[in-house]
Amino acid sequence: MDTLLRVQDLKISYFTYAGEVQAVRGVSFTVEKNQTTAIVGESGCGKTVTAKSIMGLIKKPGKIKEGSQIFFQGENVVEYTKKQWNTFCGKECGMIFQDALVSLNPTMKVGRQIIENLDNHETMLSKQEKRTRAQEMLQLVGIPDTKNCLEKYPHELSGGMRQRVMIAMALVTRPKLLIADEPTTALDVTIQAQIMELLKNLQKKLHMSVVLITHDLGVVADVADCIVVMYAGKIVERGRCRDIFYHASHPYTWALLKSVPRIDYHGQTLMTIEGSIPDMTNPPKGCAFCQRCPYGMRICKEHEPPTWDLKDGHEVSCWLLDRRANREGVPFGIDRRTEDE
């Protein structure tokens, strides 16, 4: 497979009055060409901060720490100058955000906002060509009356339409990478499904890679090729979609899977994960999930779990995978592939 993006030992901290908040603590993963990689985890796990760092959007008091590397097509973007960032963002990499109403400029017509992106990155195009390109993009994202839509203000459109406009804005320059940060959170369920279907189709049609940020594992099942599960600024499990859904091996991933509503579970109460993420100004010495993990052992409190490579890049950081661990009462069964090898 061809790698488009490689994040290597990414560390990001926010320097606040309360102390150094270690939002991302040594995250490494790759995004392959023409594939969708989902980053999953609850609020505060560091997924959005990770995505923002790829777009150069970490501002003071935040800081990407020394030694962190983000390679896009072989170039370390962390070392980019301001000019290089301006070319990279919008042209090579587009981003869509949670709430389109907040992200779009309310005082500017939709057409102007889409064309503005072309003004910055496609300077050779004539005014008419830019307008035509904007209309083509709106058509591609499923807006029927494109001419009329160009003349509207964001508040004149429905939530689903606004999100489509945001996608059109991000993709009008045909970037190789799209970062979608919780693109369906502010939408109702039926529109959520339409937007996810749209993203899936666009990824194939435009041959781009997508990094999808979400707290909902249910959203990614049909869309993602690879899944990265984050907790307290670290990756706890990553692998292909089927590894995560059929061979999940980390208690946090099990809990996320159990909290996804299923149509075949009539009358059952959804599982919740008791407690909250640890104080990131003073992260725990051992496993960060220890306080909430029903299978925690003494070693979990004292030592960080190593990362085990189970098979074909399916990686898990948990002491339960140590052969010596007491696995009594573990419900899902640890992936036996490690034991056979």
At 167, list the tokens.
Answer: 């996608």
Name which of residues 159 to 218 contact ligand SF4 (CB under 6 A). none
The SS3 assignment for 216 reads: coil
- The one-letter code for the residue type at 223 is V
Among residues 182 and 237, whose Cβ is nearest to ligand SF4? 237
| Sole binder of ligand SF4 in the list 296, 311, 322, 338 (CB under 6 A) | 296
At 189, list the tokens.
Answer: 């369920």
**What's the chain's length in residues?**
341
Query: Which range binds ligand SF4 by CB under 6 A, 57-65, 91-99, 138-146, 294-302?
Result: 294-302
CB 21 within 8 A of CB 278: no
- The one-letter code for the residue type at 312 is D
Query: Which range binds ligand SF4 by CB under 6 A, 30-38, 58-66, 151-159, 297-305?
Result: 297-305
Among residues 278 and 305, whose Cβ is nearest to ligand SF4? 305
Binding to ligand SF4 by residue 316, rule CB under 6 A? no
| Sole binder of ligand SF4 in the list 199, 305, 314, 315 (CB under 6 A) | 305
Residue 303 C-beta: closest distance to ligand SF4, Å: 9
Count of residues in contact with ligand SF4, rule CB under 6 A: 13
Site string for ligand SF4, 269-288 (x = CB under 6 A): ------------------x-
| Sole binder of ligand SF4 in the list 111, 289, 314, 335 (CB under 6 A) | 289
In sequence order, what are the residues at sequence separation of 6 or more whose Cβ sits closer than 8 angstroms to the Cβ of residue 253?
229, 236, 237, 244
Could you count the other beta carbons within 10 Å of the beta carbon of residue 63?
Answer: 15
CB 195 within 8 A of CB 187: yes
Among residues 72 and 254, whose Cβ is nearest to ligand SF4? 254
The SS3 assignment for 30 reads: strand
Among residues 209 and 249, whose Cβ is nearest to ligand SF4? 249
Instruction: Report DSSP state, residue 157.
Output: S
Name which of residues 235 to 254 contact ligand SF4 (CB under 6 A). 251
Q: In what order do the strands lie in the sheet with 209-214?
A: 93-96, 177-181, 209-214, 36-40, 226-231, 234-240, 314-317, 307-311
Question: By the criterion CB under 6 A, which residues form the site for ligand SF4?
Answer: 251, 287, 289-290, 293, 295-297, 300, 305, 318-320
